[in-house]
Chains A and B, each alone.
Chain A
Amino acid sequence: MKLAAAVLLIFTLVAFAAPAIAPYDPRATPQSETQKNLAPTASHPFGTDQFSRDVLSRVIYGARVSLGVATLAVLLALTLGAAVGSLAGYAGGWTDSICMRLVDAMLSVPRVLLLLVLVATTGPLTVPGIILLLGLTGWATTSRLIRAEVRQLKERDFVLASRATGTPEWRVFVTHVLPGIIPQILVSATIALATVIPLEAGLSFLGLGVQPPTASWGNIISDAAERPGDAWWVVLFPGLAIVCTVLAVNTIGERLRIQFDARSAARTARRDPIS
């Protein structure tokens, strides 16, 4: 857990401080043939790629793009998911039915396939475009989780009690239900983040995501994909960055989930002897 948090913290700092840390310009392509596909050395710790660019600098700048895209896409997806889930769960009835059929429809198509089809129709996307695309396709799972939580919360006595005092419905929701779904939103955030990072990398690897020469972890790998045996360092380091980030996010997510589960279990236990 501490290690996972440290990994994420370091990657985040690296992303923010990229210009200060990176030893070279990630886009600089010295024409010198001697700089091409260099194995890791002291001056190029991660080696160089086929365009003579420093891989370490590209991984550092790639953190910026990959983590930035993932974070913003997750924020968008969570906002949408929380909104749809809350609406469906709290309103119930036909509103709920319509929202959930929409979610079923979204989830019936594998997300990768959906993304590929969408990118195929739009053509290569800008970075904001990718964020939008990943965000708009990622809210369905979250909305389901949030809906379940809201449905459970809205039957609680203290929600009923608040309504009974004459508190307007929107305020009942904001003051009593919304704080209760925050743990679920945090857990959802980790799940969504751990899904979106490899998705973005995959799209970029296929050349459908972040467009070169802008570096993202996915498209750095694709630069060496044709002959991975020749320049293993170009594949290994960005690959490790992706794996470490996803593992760290998952570890933190798991920990959060266990903690919230334990807390709600304790709450249920306290309630039992009376009812």
Chain B
Amino acid sequence: MMEDRGPTAEGRGPITLVSVAHLTHEFPARRSLFGAQHAAKVAVNDVSFDIARGETLALVGESGSGKTTTGRAILRLIEPTSGRVTFDGTDVLALEREPLRRLRRRMQIVFQDPHTSLDPRMRVGRTVREGIEAHQLAEGAEADARVARALEEVGLRASDATKLPHEFSGGQRQRIAIARALAVEPEFIVLDEAVSALDVIVQAEVLALLVKLQRDRGLTYLFIAHNLAVVEQIATRVAVMYFGRIVELADAKTLYASPQHGYTQALLSAVPVPDPRVRKQRLKWNTTGS
């Protein structure tokens, strides 16, 4: 266990909520039975970025680029190999178990696949209630009321609390997962491909819900996605990851208008564009890209 060094200011502006510096995560080398050596896989390589309070930073890249690992390392659901993560001035990676557990009330996550992220044996109400109880935010009838409020806030009914996850569609399940995250009243949510598993129409609905929640509650998002088209609707800034590194980080508007890195251009050209003139333009960028 690392020692608790307590909150550190680091001289960053007061508006920075999450700060990631030189984050690196290697999956350890493994030697197979017959001696073949598999090299350590560097999933995240020297990644740094800040997220300001109230903004949405999108982390975009193809599968295997290290986006999910980055998101999980920030919440310490995995232990990164090296680097520094600060949440509202607190050094997250230095926290002991109990302070970390308490800090988790303020930072939440919504996973990609709502079929696996909800316990199939547990009623929805209990799932949402878990965080409320863990942080002793309410008890008894008041906790029930909080669960009901969280469910209603994501567009479900309070009576849904008594149902099991399999009684819901994919989109509804993802709303349950969002309700679970909201129930502890966090400031920061990692949305780990939170809409990627949903079909286009449901995706748009859930995105709209996320935007509304952010506006109502002043939430800060790290929005992880592999699709730049989805990101455009929600992101303030966009970081593009490629093989564990951030290759481009820019304001969303700037990035979409003039992507600098060849990989960003390639990603953008993969976005379906309804206007043929724009599409031609983008393909040209792609071929002239570095």
List chain A positions with a Cβ less than 8 A from chain B.
156-158, 160-169, 171, 175-176, 179-180, 267, 270-271, 274-275
For A160, give the chain B residue with the smallest CB separation: B77
CA distance A158 to B116 in the complex (A): 6
Taking CB atoms, residues of chain A closer than 8 Å to B6 are none
A274 interface neighbour in B109, B115, B120, Cβ under 8 Å: B115
B115 lies within 8 A of A164 (CB) = no
List chain B positions with a Cβ less than 8 A from chain A.
75, 77, 97, 101-105, 108-109, 111-113, 115-122, 130-131, 133-135, 170, 177, 180-181, 184, 197
A175 lies within 8 A of B122 (CB) = yes
A166 lies within 8 A of B102 (CB) = yes
CA distance A96 to B236 in the complex (A): 45
Question: Do A164 and B108 form a contact, CB below 8 Å, given A157-B113, A171-B134?
Answer: yes
B120 to chain A, nearest CB (A): 7
Taking CB atoms, residues of chain A closer than 8 Å to B170 are 274
CA distance A275 to B197 in the complex (A): 8
Taking CB atoms, residues of chain B closer than 8 Å to A175 are 119, 122, 130
CA distance A262 to B108 in the complex (A): 34
Taking CB atoms, residues of chain B closer than 8 Å to A271 are 113, 115-116
A165-B134, A166-B104, A175-B130 are known contacts; what are 15 more A-B pairs with Cβ within 8 Å? A158-B117, A158-B120, A161-B109, A164-B108, A164-B109, A165-B131, A165-B180, A166-B134, A166-B135, A167-B134, A168-B134, A179-B121, A180-B121, A270-B115, A275-B116
Count how many pairs of residues, one from A and one from B, have CB atoms less than 8 Å apart in the complex: 72
- Dominant SS among interface residues on chain A: helix
CA distance A254 to B77 in the complex (A): 38
CA distance A275 to B111 in the complex (A): 12
**10 nearest CB pairs, A to B:** A166-B104, A165-B131, A157-B116, A157-B117, A158-B119, A167-B134, A274-B197, A166-B134, A161-B117, A164-B109
Taking CB atoms, residues of chain A closer than 8 Å to B105 are 166
For A156, give the chain B residue with the smallest CB separation: B116
CA distance A129 to B264 in the complex (A): 72
Question: Do A167 and B77 form a contact, CB below 8 Å, given A157-B111, A270-B115, A274-B115?
Answer: no
CA distance A179 to B103 in the complex (A): 28
CA distance A274 to B195 in the complex (A): 12
B28 to chain A, nearest CB (A): 13
A166 lies within 8 A of B197 (CB) = no
B101 lies within 8 A of A168 (CB) = yes
A165 interface neighbour in B108, B121, B122, Cβ under 8 Å: B108
Taking CB atoms, residues of chain A closer than 8 Å to B180 are 161, 165
Taking CB atoms, residues of chain A closer than 8 Å to B119 are 158, 162, 175-176
CA distance A171 to B105 in the complex (A): 16
CA distance A157 to B117 in the complex (A): 5
B101 interface neighbour in A161, A166, A180, Cβ under 8 Å: A166
